Structure 1
Amino acid sequence: MQKNNYSQFASPKNTKSFGLLPDGKEVFCYTLTNKNGMELAVINYGATITSIKVPLANLEKIDVVLGFDTLQAYVDSFNLPNAPYFGAVVGRYAGRINEGSFILNGKTIQLHKNHGNHHLHGGNDGLSKQFWSLKNRIEGESPSITLQYISKNEEENYPGILTIEVTYLLTENNQVVVEYHAHATEDTILNVTQHSYFNLEGHQNSIEKQSLLVNAAKVLETDTLNIPTGNLLHTANCPFDFMQQKKCPTSIDTTFVIDQKAKITASLFSDKTKINMNITTNQPAVHIYVGGNCFGMIKGKENAAYHTKSGICFETQNFPDAPNHAHFPSAILKKGERYHHQTIFSFEHIN
């Protein structure tokens, strides 16, 4: 059995073993807590957020993200008919790549196809399934944790050795700041995101009575397999118009083009708990997805039975299939360049 000595970074009170992977590596759960009692828990399998507990007015806490109680459940969830990627870092390329191929520097790159004839969320063994090492841990005021993964050259057929770090910071203002830094030894493509499913009424409930706002006047048009056509559609007077707050859709899997002038990318509000969550990002898009279904095959945290309306994802990212559309924002990470992606989830009570 292989263990990892992290005692120089973390104390036992906020670090616990979360189980062993098949290769014997021990996965740990790290809990960050701020002065308000808000808690953020992360495991280093997939750099996954397992819980976000937000204090309520009555001093109780509510867990606002979906997840599992055991490491084995996270591992097994990738074998579900539709893997949920609960709380994981997704990549090297989040979203779909048409037929799993693209041209880079005049060469056709063929990625592994793991979603029918297409490549989705980094392939068969993307970042979500990897063991990330603990790079740094800061405790006290505004605690944070930094995890690192080094992706080998040709992993899932992506060119170059990719070194990627994600930092989770819990501020004293009840913000969860997610920040990525990466670089590669060769020109490659990169588009990562955080795949938490949020439910401001607790992870055992439905999102259908919560309210959604998205500052986006356009969405990506897609075909029947949700592959971008290259066209952009206006949201005005259509079902994707969330420029004014309205009830969450019960089914959506759509990429919104963010209004870069807006202070807030998107927001979610529960009239029941009076919790409001604002999302801001430096990315050009947010892919919004409602789901979480575990098909009755795996129980969620606290024996929850997750279903098709259990949570909503805000996947801040570049456009899906961007390498195959010259007019989309470039997803190329050149050798020697630095990738930087920041997304902030801010929680507040609104009376």
Structure 2
Amino acid sequence: MATKRMNKDEFYKELAGLDDDALRKLLWTLYWRGTKQFRERIETELQPADTEPAVSNKERIDPQGVLRGITDFVALARAGAYMAGDRRVSPQERSRWRFIFQRLAKDARSALALDVPTGAAALEQLIDLACEIKSYDLFHSEDPVEAAGFVVSDAVATLWQGLRDHHGFSSFARLAAPQLIRWEQEHGWTRSGWGRISEKETTLAAVLAGLLRGSDAWADFAGHYLTALDQTRTAAPRIYGVDADHSRRERTGDLAEWHLLLLERLEGTNADHLLDRLVTHPQLAGPELTYLQARRAIQIGAPDRARALMRLSEKVARP
């Protein structure tokens, strides 16, 4: 029979009777016998103060130096240097990669505050890497994004805010639209989908909704988004060996929330015609597209077509 799990008050009451040595022994047992991911969580909490970024004052940050450091780190990771015996990365660096990642992420944010183009280029590389390590083993970790403590949606929000404030809205939209397509992930960026980092994540569609104020902003961004979608490569799967149609279905699932927001915000505006381009775009596919087309059919007063599309969507969804 399974033991009933204690609540927080009960747990704290049990711990109250333990001295410091007993608590250390308990923590050591959990660390030694726990999973690799659990050990990483404990190691992160035990990180000493001297692992903070060597330069804490952003005025002393060299944006170009930060960019070079991140470029080198990303290149080494993609080359597998943090996974195998590559002389360019010491064994200690391989075991402490997540602390290097955390330091570089902080430096990139500081660089963004001083030199937006350079800082943006640095932060963009780290976000690209974070998206890649959900699917590819570039570091020794069961869940690299969780281990690194990197909240992708927060990093993107920081980047986009900086781009908008520095370049103005239209240029921001031109830069951010392809990033939205490249980075948005339906189920977040951690592998497990649970944990302290996953709980902090939000969708990039939600991030954008907070940055787009007024119908003109939504229309402007939608135009840039469709242009970026036109330029997206058909065959860009995350996993080698899958076909282009799978890539389109996966992309449409990732961007489903964003597409529904566009339907809601652009309906009846001067940019309403963009929705017809959206629901027929060749870079989208799958049941989420069929549902989107049905919603659009209702908007334009074609209920019969909407019902037919919904029946088709239900048929495809059946096992």
User: If the length of structure 2 is used for normalisation, what is the TM-score?
Assistant: 0.26
User: If the length of structure 1 is used for normalisation, what is the TM-score?
Assistant: 0.24
Larger RCO, structure (CA 8 Å, separation 6 or more): 1
- Determine which structure has more spread, i.e. the larger CA radius of gyration: 2
Would you tell me which structure has more strand in proportion to its own residues? 1
